[in-house]
Amino acid sequence: MSLGSMNLGRMRPLLLALLLAGCASTQPWYKGNLHTHSLWSDGDDFPESVVAWYADRDYDFVALSDHNTIADGEKWVRIDAARRPAYDVLQGRFGATSRQRGDTLEARLRTYDEYRALFERPGRFLVIKGEEITSSFERRPLHVNATNLVHFIEPQTGTSVTDVLQKTIDVVLHQRETTGQPMIPHINHPNFGWAISPEDLVPLVGERFFEVYNGHPAVHNEGDDTRPGTEAMWDRVNAERLARGLPLLLGLATDDSHNYHEMAVGKANPGRGWVRVRAAELTPAALIAALEAGDFYGSSGVELEDVRFDGRTLSLDIEERPGVAYETVFVGARRAGADSVEVSTVFARVAGDEPSYRLRGDELFVRATVISDRPMANPYREGETGKAWVQPVQPR
C-alpha cells in the first residue's frame, strides 16, 4: 500500500463527515404560509393579488385555503365601490374577465389552476392547493386546513368536537391514500370561539399539526384567565398523547389573512405568522415530508439558521440582528414521580444567539420558544414581539 492511498484511506471518513455536515447545513429553510383567504371565500382581495403579496416578498410558497372551496369552477364577484380599488389593481397587473349585470360590474375569479400558472416557477415559488374545511359543533367553529389536497372536501358533522375533527382528518387521510398524493390536515386556531379544548385534541388519530400561532385578531393565541393559551395547550395535549402512545402534535404558525388593504392591529393581515421548512427541494411532497419529520419551525419574526438535536442536546443558531436580544425558553414535560407528569416545565431560559439545552434524563419531551425583544411591524395585538417555535423532541 502506498503512502498516498493510506492517507486517502484515513482522509475518507473525515471528508465524508465534512460533506454530510455541509449538506445538512446548506439545505434551505423554505418560507411559506399555509393559511390565507381570498375572494373565493371571505378574504377581501383577488386570489392573484393575495398570492402576489407573498410572491413579491421573501416567501417560497403559499397555500390559499378558502372556506369550503378549492377555487375551482366559475365564480363571479360584484365590483362595488369598496372592491373597486382592488379590481383596478388586478386589472392593471394581471387583467380580468368582467361582465355587466344591469348596473353592476362583476369579475370572474381565476381558479386555482389559473392563478397558480401566473406565479409558479419550479424551484423558485410554489402555489399549493388548500382548503379550510369549515365545520362546527354546537356553534363551536371547527376549522381544519387541508394542504395539497386533490379533491374538494365537504364540511363534516359529528357528535362531539373530537368527532367532527376526527372525521375531517379521516377524510383528508383517506383522500391521501386513494390518490397517492401527500397531503396533510392541520387543526386551526383552537381558541377561535373558544371552540377546542386540550381534551378535544388529545385523542385525535392521524393528526400531526395544529396552529400554535395564528395572526387573525380573534384567535386568542394567549388564552385568557381561565383558558390556556396555545403553547400551554400544546404541552398538555402532547403529555397526554405520549401516555396514549400517540405521536406528538407539531406547531405551525400561519397568517389566516383576510384583509389586504388596511394594515393594522385588529385586521387579519398577511405577514404575521409563517413556517420555515428545511426540505430537500421546493415541492409539496418534499415540504410535507419535512413537516412530518418535524424539520421546521413556526415564526412571527425570529429566523433560525440551524436547529440540531443529537438525542441529548437541543441547540439553535438564531439569525443575529443588530440591536435585537433573544431569550430562548426550553419547555416541555417531565416525569415527576412514578405516576406523575409535570407539564409546561421550564427547563431553562437561555439568552443569546446560540442557545442549547442538554437533557437531564427525566424529560418526556422538550421544545423551544425563542422570544425576541423586537416589536413586530404589524402585530396581531399591541406590544407583540417576534418569536419562533421549535418542535418538541424526545430523548433517544
Q: Is 188 in the site for Zn ion (CB under 5 A)?
A: yes
Q: Is 44 in the site for Zn ion (CB under 5 A)?
A: no
Q: Applying CB under 5 A, which part among 41-49, 95-103, 129-137, 310-318 lies near Zn ion?
A: 129-137
d(CA 35, CA 62): 8
Provide the minimum distance between the beta carbon of 218 and Zn ion in the complex, in angstroms, as a whole number: 9
Q: Applying CB under 5 A, which part among 47-55, 219-227, 251-259, 262-270 lies near Zn ion?
A: 251-259
137 or 365: whose CB is closer to Zn ion?
137
143 or 276: whose CB is closer to Zn ion?
143
Provide the minimum distance between the beta carbon of 240 and Zn ion in the complex, in angstroms, as a whole number: 24
Cβ contact 94:48 at 8 Å:
yes
Q: Applying CB under 5 A, which part among 71-79, 124-132, 264-272, 352-360 lies near Zn ion?
A: 124-132
Provide the minimum distance between the beta carbon of 25 and Zn ion in the complex, in angstroms, as a whole number: 35
300 or 372: whose CB is closer to Zn ion?
300
Q: Is the dihedral of CA 209, 241, 389, 28 positive or negative?
A: negative
147 or 188: whose CB is closer to Zn ion?
188
255 or 363: whose CB is closer to Zn ion?
255
Q: Please work out the total of residues on this chain that contact Zn ion, with binding judged by CB under 5 A.
A: 4
Provide the minimum distance between the beta carbon of 62 and Zn ion in the complex, in angstroms, as a whole number: 13
Q: Is 143 in the site for Zn ion (CB under 5 A)?
A: yes
Q: Applying CB under 5 A, which part among 13-21, 49-57, 77-85, 252-260 lies near Zn ion?
A: 252-260
Cβ contact 230:190 at 8 Å:
yes
Could you tell me the CA-to-CA distances from 173 to 28, 185, 361 in Å, in that order?
A: 28, 8, 35
68 or 378: whose CB is closer to Zn ion?
68
136 or 385: whose CB is closer to Zn ion?
136
Q: Applying CB under 5 A, which part among 22-30, 90-98, 113-121, 127-135 lies near Zn ion?
A: 127-135
Provide the minimum distance between the beta carbon of 292 and Zn ion in the complex, in angstroms, as a whole number: 22
132 or 303: whose CB is closer to Zn ion?
132
**Strand duo 184-187 + 140-147: pairing:** antiparallel
Single out the residue of 137, 167, 136 nearest to residue 153, CA to CA: 167
When binding is defined by CB under 5 A, the residue of 256, 295, 303, 384 that contacts Zn ion is: 256
Provide the minimum distance between the beta carbon of 346 and Zn ion in the complex, in angstroms, as a whole number: 31
Provide the minimum distance between the beta carbon of 188 and Zn ion in the complex, in angstroms, as a whole number: 5
Provide the minimum distance between the beta carbon of 367 and Zn ion in the complex, in angstroms, as a whole number: 24
60 or 256: whose CB is closer to Zn ion?
256
Q: Applying CB under 5 A, which part among 11-19, 147-155, 182-190, 226-234 lies near Zn ion?
A: 182-190
Q: Is 211 in the site for Zn ion (CB under 5 A)?
A: no
60 or 132: whose CB is closer to Zn ion?
132
Tell me the sheet residues that pair with 250: 209
d(CA 202, CA 236): 9
Please report, as residue ranges, which positions from 279 to 318 form the binding site for Zn ion (by CB under 5 A).
none
Q: Applying CB under 5 A, which part among 136-144, 265-273, 328-336, 337-345 lies near Zn ion?
A: 136-144
Q: What is the largest CA-CA distance in the chain?
A: 91
**Residues of this chain that bind Zn ion (CB under 5 A):** 132, 143, 188, 256
